[in-house]
Amino acid sequence: MCGVYIHIPFCQSRCQYCDFFSTTELSRRKEYVNALLAEWQERQIAPSEISTVYIGGGTPSLLDPQDIARIVNALLGKDTGGTNATREITLEANPGDLTIEKLVALREAGINRLSIGIQSFDDRLLRLIGRRHTAAQAREVVCQSQEAGFDNISIDLMYGLPTQTMDEWTATIDEALRLQVQHLSAYCLTYEENTPLHKRMMSGEFDEVDEDTENTMNDVLCAKLRAKGFEHYEVSNFALPGYRSRHNSAYWNDIAYIGLGAGAHSYDGRIRSWNIANLNEYISLAMAHNLHRDSETLTEEQKRMEYIMLGMRTKEGIVLDGKRIVPTEQDWHVLNRIIEQLI
């Protein structure tokens, strides 16, 4: 069994902090979906071998629900009421793109989990980091998702935003909890070089939030979520019982996955490979059934390092020399710093 990740590299506009591969060239969306389906045909994998599907980006909610349905049907067949109901099929979404009609259509297309990129419930901070939705839209879209029947909703939040105060962060967490979602991911902002936000920080427009404050923000988050019954199961992820992300958990547990789309990575337990991260070239190559993936074969030493780095991100930790090592939240503060230095 394996998870399938599908990369949708389109964004309406670029957020100030983002260095992911995505494009604001939206006109080729349909052709891109055709290319994804052509790539999938080449893979020749039966639906019974697929455990989870994650449609991420970029901004997958910019696709027409009919195109989402084409993707889900190509991978899994049309059985949305049967086997697919027990599979986790996630779509990443941005609040500005969703309406109640679109949400109903997404459910009909087979999507049963939403991961909504909210980041903050503070309009000033949302503007500062270049998000194109408002806090009101974010609230509304979670409520509409629930009305449309979604009962497995994750939201993404960010802390350590420039000029963000502890009160603003606490208010954002409280707002998220009021919305009664099942899963929450929270990331500390990192200033990636050459992003507009990094340039603004370097020009002196604002300072980075200091490390102690970031740690305190993380501690407040953990305490508030714990009090509401959330399990802190991975360094940046919290879930109510039974709602861990099954797709992402597979990454942390060294399970094989297949990546479809421009820039997407695949892993078979030993070899990691990746598609070309260029929209136009990806479409041409996939449609010509001529995709070439660059790859690397992990050595035993690399696999061991990955096992340690990924395993220590999880609540279950790792087993070394027959002994289980379980990370504390303090270890996770340190790990976060190491990861920030490495990426």
- Which stretches of the chain bind ligand SF4, using CB under 6 A? 11, 14-15, 18, 20, 22, 57-59, 94, 117
Contact assessment for residue 172 and residue 120, using Cβ atoms and an 8 Å cutoff: yes
- Output 20 or 274, the one with its CB closest to ligand SF4: 20
Token pair 């994998």 is at which residue? Answer: 45
User: For residue 336, which of 240, 251, 217, 245 has the smallest C-alpha distance?
Assistant: 217
Token pair 């979520």 is at which residue? Answer: 225
Pairwise CA distance, residues 255 & 1, whole Å? 9
- Output 19 or 140, the one with its CB closest to ligand SF4: 19
- Output 57 or 162, the one with its CB closest to ligand SF4: 57
Q: Mapping DSSP to helix (H, G, I), strand (E, B) and coil, where does residue 185 land? A: strand
Q: Minimum distance between the CB of residue 16 and ligand SF4, rounded to whole angstroms?
A: 9
Alpha helices for the chain (secondary structure H): 29-43, 65-76, 83-86, 100-108, 123-128, 135-147, 166-178, 196-202, 211-227, 246-252, 279-287, 300-311, 329-342
Q: Minimum distance between the CB of residue 129 and ligand SF4, rounded to whole angstroms?
A: 9
Token pair 């919305």 is at which residue? Answer: 179
Contact assessment for residue 151 and residue 114, using Cβ atoms and an 8 Å cutoff: no
Q: Minimum distance between the CB of residue 59 and ligand SF4, rounded to whole angstroms?
A: 5
- Output 50 or 62, the one with its CB closest to ligand SF4: 62
Q: Minimum distance between the CB of residue 84 and ligand SF4, rounded to whole angstroms?
A: 26
Pairwise CA distance, residues 261 & 286, whole Å? 9
- Output 130 or 317, the one with its CB closest to ligand SF4: 130
Structure tokens at 56: 């991420």
Question: SS3 helix, strand, coil % of the chain, rounded to 5?
Answer: 45, 20, 35
Q: Minimum distance between the CB of residue 83 and ligand SF4, rounded to whole angstroms?
A: 31
- Output 7 or 87, the one with its CB closest to ligand SF4: 7
Q: At what angle do helices 329-342 and 211-227 cross, to 10 degrees?
A: 130
Please give, one letter per residue, the 3-state secondary structure of 229-243.
Answer: CCEEEECCEEECCCC
Contact assessment for residue 54 and residue 60, using Cβ atoms and an 8 Å cutoff: no
- Output 92 or 214, the one with its CB closest to ligand SF4: 92
Pairwise CA distance, residues 109 & 78, whole Å? 9
- Output 15 or 217, the one with its CB closest to ligand SF4: 15
Q: Minimum distance between the CB of residue 279 and ligand SF4, rounded to whole angstroms?
A: 14
- Output 14 or 293, the one with its CB closest to ligand SF4: 14
Pairwise CA distance, residues 337 & 325, whole Å? 19
Q: Minimum distance between the CB of residue 116 and ligand SF4, rounded to whole angstroms?
A: 11
Q: Minimum distance between the CB of residue 123 and ligand SF4, rounded to whole angstroms?
A: 17
Q: Minimum distance between the CB of residue 216 and ligand SF4, rounded to whole angstroms?
A: 25
